[in-house]
Structure 1
């Protein structure tokens, strides 16, 4: 029985069910679906050992990118297009929801789902511990830090962006700026040297991409100027449209 079979069997057994037969090609999606819908709780050492092995083996077949692979475009700023779960920096930023528990939709391709999936089930459990200790939903524009577990990044910074319908208000702009500032402050307070930002609030949360990128860039530049921080910042984009927006802002040809 291979690693995927063992994990799928364990996850079904945890629910008191017998795992059906699955074609080899669908097993990765079956496993991902099962961990996506799983509530935060302890997993057995045996399951965690298999999951760690599976997720670490995944990275052997992917182009993991380090900061040394990138060229700064200005003032310790970098622009990179790719999968943030393959980026080896001190911290990656997750566009989280207010319970910080990740996306429960099976195989949904949002960044929250991807980060929780490929970090492993311990990330959701750690976020649940943080939220129970806090005692209330996470506010917009704040930041929390967790280990990266099986990600190449050492840590994950979780922040909740504003939900926008139409043109963003000044309040929503300030909330988005607070997301970036809070992450930078937390990263600096922990002595981190590099952080990679996703495009916060621009997906299902509806913030216009160009306006959001300007807030991101302006906030990072203002923070670095006012604090003297030498933290290296990567603007990570996935879509070509997002890359074009940031390239214009940063003067990348």
Structure 2
């Protein structure tokens, strides 16, 4: 804890003095509160040149935290076929279901449910997958995403996907996709469903371009703040991935659906075990 405390103090000192108006931020006394403040400041930070000393210290801190995590190996997650031999899902031997922290899965690639700017949620302590992935990977991930947007000269289109390095995640790569948003009271349309399916397809096709991506983890895209109904989203996720695997040459050994909580898990199970 002493090493982490020292690193956190040094990072806070640099962050607080990086921008006019932040020097007066009060530094809390206990370590957990300090660490939360580091996360908050980094999550609202625009992609700007990074202080080399701060990045070295931050990478060290994130690597220590990674070593302390109870990581899950993809080999430990049983396939649907092994759990449910009678499943009617044709590609059940390639699919798996897991409930937990997506930043703790040691996979070749994880999918991020991104926004059109690809810069993370920009919420200090948000609970979204986007926030969690950017927080665990570190600010170089945001810089990579900013460079993508700069080069393509427009925001990311809904249903498309881009790939970056994973940095301080246990995954080698992050595939960022923008899922459709369903406005409250607006109702789910065929267009929403097609765009969600496109997000899954775009991620799969992008991943196949990398020879070293054999395991891929999907969150439940668009079901959080984007408002996509969980039941329909799960049906689209499983159906789209299953159909794509049937029709395309690939080198995937396992596609994992990482769901948030027992409610989501039960919905996916009802689809996968039939």
TM superposition score category, shorter chain reference: over 0.9
What residue in structure 2 maps to residue 224 of structure 1? 245
What residue in structure 2 maps to residue 68 of structure 1? 75
Gaps of 5+ in 2: 81-91
What residue in structure 2 maps to residue 15 of structure 1? 19
Shift of the alpha carbon at 1:80? Answer: 0.5
- Once the two structures are superposed, the pairs formed by residues 63-102 of structure 1 within 5 Å of their partners are 63-73=70-80, 74-102=92-120
Alignment root-mean-square deviation, CA:
1.3
Contact residue 99 and residue 138 of structure 1 kept, 8 A: yes
Q: How many residues align?
A: 252
Shift of the alpha carbon at 1:145? Answer: 0.1
Whole-angstrom CA distance in 1 between matches of 2:115 and 2:33: 28
Where in structure 1 do 4 or more consecutive aligned residues deviate above 4 Å? none
What residue in structure 2 maps to residue 204 of structure 1? 225
- Once the two structures are superposed, the pairs formed by residues 169-180 of structure 1 within 5 Å of their partners are 169-180=189-200
My pick for the range that moved more, 65-74 or 196-205, is 65-74
* Residues 123-169 of structure 1 deviation map (CA, whole Å, 9 limit, x = unaligned): 11110001000100110000000000000000000000011135321
Whole-angstrom CA distance in 2 between matches of 1:23 and 1:76: 48
Gaps of 5+ in 1: none
* Residues 51-89 of structure 1 deviation map (CA, whole Å, 9 limit, x = unaligned): 111111112222111111111112211101000011110
For the residue of structure 2 that corresponds to 1:14, the secondary structure is coil
Whole-angstrom CA distance in 1 between matches of 2:93 and 2:62: 34
Contact residue 27 and residue 34 of structure 2 kept, 8 A: no
What residue in structure 2 maps to residue 194 of structure 1? 215
Q: TM-score, normalised by structure 1?
A: 0.96
What residue in structure 1 maps to residue 86 of structure 2? none
What residue in structure 1 maps to residue 126 of structure 2? 108
Q: TM-score, normalised by structure 2?
A: 0.89
Shift of the alpha carbon at 1:46? Answer: 1.1
- The one of 146, 150, 164 equivalent to 1:128 is 146
Whole-angstrom CA distance in 1 between matches of 2:102 and 2:163: 16
